[in-house]
Every structure is written in structure tokens, then in C-alpha cells.
Amino acid sequence: NEKTAFNLQASYDDWKDIGVAANVAYTVVPGLTVTAEVDWQRVGQGAIDNDSVWVLATKKDNVGGLLRFQRDF
């Protein structure tokens, strides 16, 4: 479908943090796009030093999302 686009991204780093983001963009009419996104992050246990902001994190799993309306002229 030319009106719909899907995107998936994943990441992993040396501190064993994992992130996944997925979104769907839908073109309602030419010039108007609505995008819905869901994000998930797992904070790892591999911090190299005690100065890391995640060392004392109490929530290891985080979920977020957004709804974007974009109008192009």
C-alpha cells in the first residue's frame, strides 16, 4: 500500500542496553501524514563504572510511544 509505511529499529550497546522502536506512518491525504510509534528499552547490567546514570535505575524495562501529525505544504 503506497499510503502506509512501516519502520523497525533495534539497538544494543556495550552496557547491555537493548532498544526497539516500531512505527507506522499513514498518509491520510497528500501532504498529511499520521505516524504512531511504540518504543521499548531494556536497561542492561553491564555499566562500566559507577558514574553511569543507569547503575541505580530501579526500572529496567521502559515503554513509550508517540502519535505525530505532520502537514506538508
Secondary structure element (H or E) that encloses residue 10, with its range: strand 4-12
DSSP string, 18-50: EEEEEEEEEEEETTEEEEEEEEEEE--S--SST
User: Can you give the pLDDT at residue 24?
Assistant: 98
Q: What is the pLDDT along the chain (73 residues), one digit of tens a residue?
A: 789 999 999 999 887 889 999 999 999 999 999 999 999 999 876 555 555 555 566 668 889 999 999 999 8
What was the pLDDT predicted at 68?
97
How far apart CA 17 and CA 44 sit, in angstroms, is: 4
Residue 69 grid coordinates: 501529525
